[in-house]
Amino acid sequence: MGHLKLQTQTGINAIEEEPEQCNAGYPNKTTVACMINAEIGAVLAVMRRNVRWGVHYMSDDDQLEHSLVQSLKALRRKIFLWRNQWHAINPALYLRPFLDVIQSDETGAPITGVALSSVYKILTLDVIDQNTVNVGDTMHLVVDAVTSCRFEVTDPASEEVVLMKILQVLLACVKSKASAMLSNQHICTIVNTCFRIVHQAGTKGELLQRIARYTMHELVRCIFSHLQDVNNTDHSLVNGSAALTQETRQLGNGNLNSANGSQPLSAHIASNASSFVSATTMDENTHIASDGKEADPHELHLMSEPYGVPCMVEIFHFLCSLLNVVEHMGMSPRSNTIAFDEDVPLFALTLINSAIELGGSSFRHHPKLLSLIQDELFRNLMQFGLSMSPLVLSMVCSIVLNLYHHLRTELKLQLEAFFSCVILRLAQSRYGASYQQQEVVMEALVDFCRQKSFMVEMFANFDCDITCNNVFEDIANLLSKSAFPVNTPLSSMHILALDGLIAVMQGMAERIGVGSVNSENYQQVDLEDYTPFWIEKCENFNDPDHWVPFVCRRKYFKRKLMTGADHFNRDPKKGLEFLQGTNLLPDKLDPQSVACFFRYTAGLDKNLIGDFLGNHDDFCIQVLHEFARTFDFADMTLDNALRLFLETFRLPGESQKIQRVLEAFSERYYEQSPHILANKDAALLLSYSIIMLNTDQHNVQVKKKMTEEDFIRNNRRINGGNDLPREFLSDLYHSICKNEIRTTPEQGAGFPEMTPSRWIYLMQKSKKTSPFIVSDSRAYLDHDMFAILSGPTIAAISVVFDNAEHEEVYQSCMDGFLAVAKISAYYHLDNVLDDLVVSLCKFINILDPSLDDEPVLAFGDDIKARMATETVFAIANRYGDYIRTGWRNILDCILRLHKLGLLPAHMASDAAEELYAETGHAKPNANTLSSIHLQSSTPKRSSGLMSRFSQLLSLGTEEPRSEPTEEQLVAHQRTLQTIQKCHIDSIFTESKFLQAESLLQLTKALISAAGRPQKGNNISEDEDTAVFCLDLLVAITLNNRDRIGLLWQGVYEHISTIVQSSVMPCVLVEKAVFGLFKICQRLLPYKENIADELLRSLQLVLKLDARVADAYCEQITQEVGRLVKANASHIRSQLGWRTITSLLSITARHPEASEAGFDALQFIMSDGAHLLPANYVLCVDAARQFAESRVGQSERSVQALDLMSVSVNCLAKWTSDARKAMEEEQVGKMLQDIGDMWLRLVQGLRKLCLEQREEVRNHALLSLQKCLVGAVGICLPHDLWLQCFDLVIFPVLDDLLEIALAQSQKDYRNMEVSLILALKLLSKVFLQLLPDLSQLTTFAKLWLGVLSRMEKYMKVKIRGRRTEKLQELVPELLKNTLLVMKSGGILVQSSVSTGDGLWELTWPHVNNIAPALQSEVYTEQDSEHLQQKQVETAGGVGPEENVSAHSKETVSQDGAGVG
């Protein structure tokens, strides 16, 4: 039923016998009776003061009291006799005597006042509620009595007291538990009465004025607080107007008659008594309904029901009508006094604001209330929004903010109009607004911006709607411009605008991660075919999956249309062609599409539109008529329709064009509003007449103005031969005279004033516009919004931060920077983030030592620099993934801090874990800044913060220094805290989490910051910086081992440049070389794919200048040793091993480095642990060099020889493994490789067999023997053994013999022993290989070579005499050899002597050595036996024949080896 739901209570229990107790929430029965009795006594006491109320004596001497006194006394007698509980007693019984006193016109103000107080006290006793007997009638009685209160005014003070008590009682009625029983009519009467007292209190005292306004305010709050409890139906008044009784229908004019037709309040009290002034400024037009209209019985019934929506509609309409006071008085709100401007409107606005605050979103469920807000209220808000009064303007903004919160879905176009025509207009001084107005508007705008979804909804609903203004962009531009202090000091307005920008940014930042949707998914709008942009529809405005792509598509249309407008304004033809190219207009233009382009595209030149529409071309005429059809003139007066039509283009000056334009307008107007006009010709003629009247009235050159009669006379018989109604024409005349129709409308977007015609059009448009899109907390459109806002916001924050002087503003700016950074990172806008970093870094220039003698102190004292430093590093740590060129600026800041000694010393040592693990120390906390961590990387410079600070504490030898002041101590402490908060080291230690592109940019920035050293310079221009950057570069490389391929090229080139440009030892080249080793050592276990490349980089060490290499040789060797020991199993390629062995080999002759180098080589070769086919030859060569070196004495050479000799076991093992695991072809290849390795091994030993040192020489011969004898298991091919004899064994014997003959004993001691060892080696190897070698065709040659060496050794003379040991050894060895050959059937006498057989070739040499050997070895019996054996094998070819057949080569006399 549209009224309040009655909140009935459960049963009421009887009052218990104990008098002190109450039951069911009611007061004690006796207590209430006593209270009422006291009130009766109080009223009677006051009445007795006046003789009028004394005792009257009749003629019969009977006493007769006044009826008022009698009723009070009668109540007094009964009150203690009632047995029922108070809720069961009709309240009228004990209230009526008081109400009679109040209504009596005989009582004076004091008596009435006491009676009102009594009623108020009874109402507040909680004895009357919804369950009380006859409560409804009682409440009606109270309201009727109080609103029709009469009393005799004796003095102003007592009159004001009565009025205040009337207000008190009425408010108590509405606030009481029984208020739900009041009818709609009574609520209206209460409000009417209170307002009249408010109005008339203007002539009374200040206290009454304030109480009256307070009461009115409380009434409205109390009434509208129940709107949410009203049934969700609308049984308010029908037919759009209130059909109340006469007194209720006139709420607007102060006519406060009571329901029973009695006289108005305080009227006709006494002939000489003063009465209230009933004059009011409001016109009869403010009546809610026409006085002449008959009341509808249904509406009367509604008004008598318990109060609900009907009375709220009336009250709200009444409050809105108060805002029309100025209009009806013919006053402009900008031309009146502040006093009047603020009084009535401000009071009405305050009440309206309270109603909206308490009614909230419930207004939307009641069409009548909602309609009042949409039209009448908002129209007045638009008017008073331009008020000169800051109070009024502020209240208007507060109301709109409340409406936005509760009802924005119902007020889409109203909100757009308010922002465009009020907020954005007043906020700019060019429209004539005062500074106070601008400030109030800016505060309001910032309040809106603080609403999380406000800017999103502005963008979605208006900026993405082709028929609406770009409210979001306009607000963004306003805020960014207003935040810039241009040639003026920073003011509160600038900071306020900045707060708005930052609020918007923080809103976006908060939406990130809350179920965020990347709007880029919706950004791709591809128009392959022509699409009529004005008929785009959305299936569901409540579903983001539908409305987000819809608004993105509309925004795309709008942008293209704006671009098309720019082209059109320069050349209409090219503009249309551009839109055809974007498929927003069809390839073949049609009138409707062009008309919609003109109608809905902002920024078009209205002169060009007018010329196009007025053109006589058939197509242009069709466009004109389609253009007219885009307007909705329904229910609009002709002049307002014409105003609206002519605002969209400039009416052409030629009469024919004007006629064509007006014909199209008239046709459209007549279609939609045919009520008065007979036909479209009548509309055309009247339109012409209006244009002429407009020119006549508003052209200064026309001296004689057209009168109303002239206008009516000029329009006779134009309505189908009949006259138009005179009132109709008169209204048109006055409307045109009052408001000019501008035939040259304003160009550009701008912020126009709201005119009546525009408002009418807005209300019509609101019925058809798309629904208001309500955004949730997800970031649907933030990408596009941020693209518009980011640049201006960064610039504005930077400027304000630069000019600000208060810490609160600084912090606000930093919050803004962080919000921008967060959004930029989320949308991967690295260019925005780079700009942000650049802007921030310029505030850290204070760290430049050249700007201040004590930059550390200056930094500690400069809160701006410290906050900027904290913020820039917070951004670097949180959002480094999306920083690109900004890394260079960040590094500049880091380098400044480093130069001042403000960074932890271990910040750049990425390998701290390893180093400290090896030494057994705990790793220091890199984030802790202390005196330990603040040592400089260069020992000559003490630049740590604590060391610098200690300088202040120390006393110099030359002049005494004062101790630091307390301020300096505090400044240093602040500096420490700031650097700790920055976590600068995390940028590099956490660089493994950076995205690839950002990481690459960071390394490039480091390399660039380090500078490029020039060849020949001792150190670079700033070695300290270069060293620091190199440390950081190495740290980053080590932290990004999984992405070494991305970084390696740049890192290697940088280190290479340093290494090759250094000619003297310095810290930089030291860091470069050992950084390179560190990288290799850490990455080799994980990156086998680039192991060769890493190891190849170590060849840079071989390119070091000799002086540099010599200085660091020992440390380099130690690093190589560590590298090998840790990663030997990961080095597999020959290239890698070549680098390692090269580095080890060069240390063989270095005094300090050789020990470490040999230690590393031993690790590789001992037991063949890390020997591989890939490194075998390289390691053998390196071992040979260590054996040849005299740095480590003979002992090390002997150890090196042992390494070489033992390595032959690896060859044997590889041979065995190959035969087991490989296929035949692979085995052959492997065996060939092994043979080559073995040959290199014995060749290396051959050289060492000629060593000058006796111990080394002899050990080399023994080692060679081991390698030759041990090679049997390798299964070397025969030709390789022949090579071995030719290249190794024979040359060893020959060279040793030559040395023994040519060199002095002093240089080569005990050569005899070496010759003996060599001869034994020859004999042993020959005999071991004899069975295989004897089968070769070249065996004879080999055998002769052996014999010739023995013969030479037999004849050798050392120091002029033959040695006994050789004289004994040679025959013995030869005899053993001949016996073996004899037993094997290799050396036998042939039956046929050819002269060149083995037998014949052997004995001449043997006889030269020991003539008796033949007879000792070969007896006659042996010869006969052998001959007999040969005869038995006749037909076959014996070995000796085989040998002799192929032994026709010339053998030299000395038996030289096989050639």
**Token pair recorded at residue 713:** 């006379």
The one catalytic residue in 654, 709, 990, 1298 is: 654
**Longest CA span, the chain:** 206
Pairing mode, strands 56-57 and 63-64: antiparallel
**Token pair recorded at residue 1037:** 């490389």
Residues forming a β-bridge with 108:
152
Instruction: Give the CB-side neighbour count of residue 1146, counting CA atoms within 13 A.
Output: 19
What is the b/e burial string over 1387-1398, where b = at least 16 CB atoms within 10 angstroms of the residue's CB?
A: bbbbeeeeeebb
Indicate whether 568 pLDDT > 70. yes
Please give the Cα distance from 718 to 1171 (Å, whole number). Answer: 118
At 566, the amino acid letter reads D
The average pLDDT across 1085-1103 equals 85
With tokens 């075919």, the residue in question is 529
The average pLDDT across 480-505 equals 90
Give tens-digit pLDDT for 1022-1050. 788 899 999 999 999 988 988 888 999 99
pLDDT tier, 1393 (very low <50, low <70, confident <90, very high otherwise): low
Q: What is the pLDDT of residue 1338?
A: 87
- Those residues with Cβ within 8 angstroms of residue 590's Cβ, 6 or more apart along the chain or in another chain: none
**Token pair recorded at residue 325:** 């006071």
Q: What is the pLDDT of residue 113?
A: 92
Indicate whether 265 pLDDT > 60. no
Give tens-digit pLDDT for 86-110. 888 888 888 999 999 999 888 888 8
Q: Which helix (H) or strand (E) holds 916?
A: helix 912-919
Please give the Cα distance from 664 to 647 (Å, whole number). Answer: 15
Q: Which helix (H) or strand (E) holds 824?
A: helix 807-826
**Token pair recorded at residue 21:** 């107790």
Given a contact cutoff of 8 angstroms between Cβ atoms, the answer to whether 878 and 829 are in contact is no
Give the residue, 429 or 581, on which the prediction is more confident: 581
Question: In 3D, which of 1016, 1114, 1032 has the Cα closest to residue 1075?
Answer: 1032
Given a contact cutoff of 8 angstroms between Cβ atoms, the answer to whether 1309 and 1257 are in contact is no
Please give the Cα distance from 931 to 389 (Å, whole number). Answer: 63
Question: In 3D, which of 638, 695, 631, 627 has the Cα closest to residue 661?
Answer: 627
Indicate whether 498 pLDDT > 50. yes
Give tens-digit pLDDT for 48-73. 887 677 654 444 444 567 888 888 88
Question: In 3D, which of 1342, 1322, 1326, 1350 has the Cα closest to residue 1447?
Answer: 1342
Give the residue, 291 or 394, on which the prediction is more confident: 394
Please give the Cα distance from 781 to 793 (Å, whole number). Answer: 18
Please give the Cα distance from 530 to 579 (Å, whole number). Answer: 10
Please give the Cα distance from 1390 to 1393 (Å, whole number). Answer: 6
Query: What is the DSSP secondary structure assignment for residue 63, as one 8-state letter?
Result: E
Neighbour-count burial of 1038, counting CB atoms closer than 10 A to its CB (0-12 exposed, 13-18 middle, 19+ buried): buried
* Catalytic annotation present for 457: no
Question: In 3D, which of 22, 133, 45 has the Cα closest to residue 87?
Answer: 133
Neighbour-count burial of 590, counting CB atoms closer than 10 A to its CB (0-12 exposed, 13-18 middle, 19+ buried): middle
Query: What is the DSSP secondary structure assignment for residue 157, as one 8-state letter?
Result: H
Phi, psi (degrees; rounded to nearest 5) at 1005: -65, -40
pLDDT tier, 356 (very low <50, low <70, confident <90, very high otherwise): very high
**Token pair recorded at residue 348:** 């009405």
Question: In 3D, which of 445, 447, 489, 499 has the Cα closest to residue 471?
Answer: 445
Residues forming a β-bridge with 183:
306
Q: How far is CA 1416 from each of CA 990, 1411, 1440, rounded to the nearest angstrom?
A: 88, 10, 21
With tokens 């030559």, the residue in question is 1298
- Those residues with Cβ within 8 angstroms of residue 989's Cβ, 6 or more apart along the chain or in another chain: 910, 926, 1035, 1039
Q: What is the pLDDT of residue 1015?
A: 63
What is the b/e burial string over 1289-1311, where b = at least 16 CB atoms within 10 angstroms of the residue's CB?
A: bbbbbbebbebbeeeeeeebeeb
Q: What is the pLDDT of residue 1416?
A: 84
Q: How far is CA 388 from each of CA 342, 397, 732, 750, rounded to the nearest angstrom?
A: 9, 14, 31, 21
Task: Evaluate the CA torsion angle 1446, 1452, 1456, 1459 in order and state its sign.
Answer: negative
Give tens-digit pLDDT for 645-679. 888 888 888 888 888 899 999 999 888 887 788 88
DSSP 713-745: HHTTTTBTTBPPPHHHHHHHHHHHHHS---SSP
Weakest mean pLDDT among 233-237, 461-465, 546-550, 641-645: 233-237
Q: How far is CA 187 from each of CA 103, 190, 355, rounded to the nearest angstrom?
A: 19, 5, 15
pLDDT tier, 261 (very low <50, low <70, confident <90, very high otherwise): very low
Weakest mean pLDDT among 136-145, 412-421, 538-547, 1121-1130: 538-547
